[in-house]
A and B are shown apart, each in its own frame.
Chain A
Amino acid sequence: MASQEQPGRVVALTGAAEFLGRELGNRLLHDPRCRRVVVIDVREPNLSGAGLEYVQLDLTSPNAGRELEAVFARHRVDTLVHQAFLSHPIHDLDYAHELQVIGTLHLLHAADSAGLRKVIMEGSTMVYGARPDNPNFIREDAPLRGVSNCPQVADLIAAEQALWEFAARSPDTTVTCLRLASMLGQHSDGFMIQLLSRPLVPTVMGFDPLFQFVHESDALEALWLAWERDCPGAFNVAGDGVVPLSVAIRSAGRLPLPIPHLLSERLGGFLWACQLSDTPVAFFDYLRYLWVADTTRARRELGFRPRFSSHQALQNFTLLHRMLPKVPSAGGRP
Chain B
Amino acid sequence: MSRSVLGRDPFTRAPATPAAADKSPPAKTPARKARKRRAARPAVAPEKSPPAPAPEFAAEPLVEKELPPRPVDRRELVDETEELSSDTVGMPLAPETIIGRLAAWSLSCRGLEVDEFGFDPVSWEKAKPLLRWLADRYWRIQVRGLDHLPADGPFLVVANHGGVLPWDALMLKLAVERARGEDIPVRFLMEDFVFHFPFLGPLLTRLGGARAHPDNARRLLHRGAPLLVFPEGDKGLGKLYRNRHQLQRFGRGGFLKLAIREGVPLLPAALVGPDEIHPVVARLRWLARPLGLPYLPVTFTFPVLGPLGLLPLPARWRIAFGEPLRWERQAIDPDDSVRVASEAERVRERVQQMVNDLLDERSRAAT
Q: Are B107 and A312 in contact (CB under 8 A)?
A: no
Q: Does B333 contact A (CB under 8 A)?
A: no
A94 at the interface (CB under 8 A from B): no
Asked whether A136 lies within 8 Å of B116 as measured between CB atoms, the reply is yes
User: Taking CB as reference atom, which chain A residue is nearest B214?
Assistant: A135
A 288-302 to B, binary, CB cutoff 8 A, 1 in contact else 0: 011000000000000
**Across the interface, do A323 and B88 meet the contact criterion of CB distance under 8 Å?**
yes
The residue in chain A whose Cβ has the minimal distance to the Cβ of B57 is: A187
Q: Evaluate contact between B215 and A137: CB separation under 8 angstroms.
A: yes
Q: Considering the complex, which residues of chain A in the window 201-255 have a beta carbon less than 8 Å from any beta carbon of chain B?
A: 205-208, 210, 215-217, 220, 241-244, 246-247, 249-255
B61 at the interface (CB under 8 A from A): yes
Cα A17 to Cα B45 with chains together (Å): 38
Residues of B in contact with A, size category: 35 or more
Select A253's contact among B72, B85, B211, B213, beta carbons within 8 Å.
B85
Flag the segment in A20-28, A58-66, A67-75, A97-105 that touches B: A20-28
The tally of residues in A whose CB lies under 8 Å from a CB in B reads 53
Chain A 54-90 interface residues, beta-carbon cutoff 8 Å to B? none
Q: Are A132 and B196 in contact (CB under 8 A)?
A: yes
Q: Are B215 and A135 in contact (CB under 8 A)?
A: yes
Binds B, one of A119-127, A267-275, A313-321: A313-321
Separation in Å of the A188 CB from the closest CB of chain B?
A: 11
What A residues does B213 contact at CB under 8 A? 133, 135-136
Indicate if the CB atoms of B62 and A23 lie closer than 8 Å.
Answer: yes
Set of chain B residues within 8 Å of A243, measured between Cβ atoms: 114
**Can you list, as one digit per residue, whether each of B206-221 has a CB less than 8 Å from chain A (1) or not (0)?**
1000110111100100
Complex interface: chain B residues within 8 A of A323 (CB): 6, 9, 11-13, 84, 88
Inter-chain CA distance A200–B98, complex, in Å, is 12
Binds A, one of B19-27, B197-205, B249-257, B335-343: B197-205
* Residues in chain B near residue A255, CB distance under 8 A: 99, 102-103, 106
- Shortest CB-to-CB span from A47 to chain B, Å, is 7
Which single member of B9, B58, B81 contacts A251 (CB below 8 Å)?
Answer: B81
Give CA–CA (A314, B81) in the complex, Å: 14
| Cα–Cα, bound, A254→B84 (Å) | 13
- CB neighbours of B117 from chain A (8 A): 136, 210
**Known A-B contacts A136-B210, A217-B62, A253-B84; A311 and B99 likewise in contact (beta carbons under 8 Å):** no
Any B CB within 8 A of the CB of A199: yes
**In the complex, chain B residues whose CB is within 8 Å of the CB of A315:** 72, 77
A249 to chain B, nearest CB (A): 7
In the complex, the answer to whether A320 meets B95 with C-beta atoms within 8 Å is no
- A136-B117, A206-B202, A250-B104 known; A308+B69 contact, CB < 8 A: yes
Question: A46 near B: Cβ within 8 Å?
Answer: yes
Q: Give the docked Cα–Cα distance between A274 and B103 (Å).
A: 26
The interface bits of chain B over 102-115 (1 if a CB of A lies within 8 angstroms of the residue's CB, else 0) are 11101100101111
Contact check, A316 vs B84: say whether CB atoms are below 8 A apart. Answer: no
Chain A residue contacts of B206, Cβ below 8 A: 244
Assess whether B63 is in contact with A249, with CB atoms less than 8 Å apart.
no
Residue of A nearest to B59 (CB): A26
Q: B74 → chain A, closest Cβ, in Å? A: 10
Q: Are B107 and A247 in contact (CB under 8 A)?
A: yes
- Compute how far the CA of A228 lies from the CA of B34 in the bound complex, rounded to whole angstroms: 53
Query: A27 touching B69 by the CB < 8 A rule?
Result: no
Does B42 interact with chain A (Cβ within 8 Å)? Answer: no
Q: State which of A132, A250, A261, A290 has its C-beta within 8 Å of the C-beta of B198.
A: A261
Asked whether any CB of chain B lies closer than 8 Å to the CB of A324, the reply is yes
Q: Is B66 a contact of A325 with CB atoms below 8 Å?
A: no
Q: Is the CB–CB distance between B118 and A242 below 8 Å? A: yes
Tell whether, in the assembled complex, residue A242 and residue B116 are in contact, meaning their CB atoms are under 8 Å apart: yes
Among the interface residues B5, B57, B112, B115, which one has the most CB atoms of the partner chain A within 10 A? B112
Say whether A133 contacts B9, CB under 8 Å. Answer: no
| A320 touching B114, Cβ below 8 Å | no
Contact residues in B for A241 (Cβ distance below 8 Å): 113-116
- Beyond A253-B85, A254-B99, A319-B80, whether A27 also contacts B61 by CB under 8 A is yes
How far does the alpha carbon of A291 sit from the alpha carbon of B104 in the complex, in Å? Answer: 27
The residues of B that contact A322 with a CB separation of less than 8 Å are: 84-85, 88
B365 to chain A, nearest CB (A): 41
Q: Is the CB of A208 within 8 A of B192?
A: no
**Given A46-B58, A308-B69, A135 and B216 contact (CB-CB distance below 8 Å):** yes
With a cutoff of 8 Å between Cβ atoms, the chain A residues found around residue B113 in the complex are 241, 311
- Contact A251 to B211, CB < 8 A, known contacts A187-B62, A207-B198, A323-B11: no
* Interface check A307, CB cutoff 8 A: yes
Give me 25 A-to-B residue pairs in the complex whose CB atoms sit less than 8 angstroms apart, sorted by A's number: A23-B61, A23-B62, A46-B58, A136-B215, A136-B216, A137-B216, A187-B62, A205-B198, A206-B198, A207-B201, A208-B202, A220-B63, A251-B81, A253-B81, A253-B84, A253-B96, A254-B99, A309-B69, A311-B71, A312-B71, A316-B66, A323-B11, A323-B12, A323-B13, A323-B84
> Besides the contacts A136-B117, A241-B116, A251-B77, what 5 more A-B pairs have beta carbons closer than 8 Å?
A132-B196, A206-B197, A217-B66, A251-B81, A320-B9
Nearest 7 A-B pairs (CB), nearest first?
A: A206-B198, A208-B202, A135-B215, A250-B103, A253-B100, A206-B199, A135-B213
